[in-house]
Amino acid sequence: SVAYDRSSAPKDCRVSGWLQGDDSDLAVGAEKMFLLTEFTYDLDKSNAQTFNVLDLPGSGVVDTVRLDFTSNHGSSSHTCIYRLRVHGREPDSVSVLAMQS
């Protein structure tokens, strides 16, 4: 069921990733992070929404993702999501991202 107050639902989001095998050292790893997608979660659409990702730099497998919220639908105290699912295919195919709020 949909929450009565949806002000804490995410609005503008960014998903970044790291390629498999990259250093996990935070200082070094931050430089190897790249943008997978930016999107706006629309409250007028289905709770579960799917977003395509951008082409990967070079070839490889993404093994770590990071979801950042740059805004929500009005809450000043928090942003809430129910589930983040990442679906992938072989490295030379397009992957998609699904989020539910």
7-32: pLDDT as tens digits: 999 999 999 988 766 455 544 455 67
Give the pTM.
0.72
Within its chain, how far is the Cα of 98 from the centroid?
8
Backbone phi and psi for residue 26, each to the nearest 5 degrees, phi listed first: -55, -45
> What residue ranges do the domains of the chain occupy?
10-98
35-94: pLDDT as tens digits: 999 999 999 999 899 999 887 656 667 888 999 999 999 999 999 998 999 887 765 555
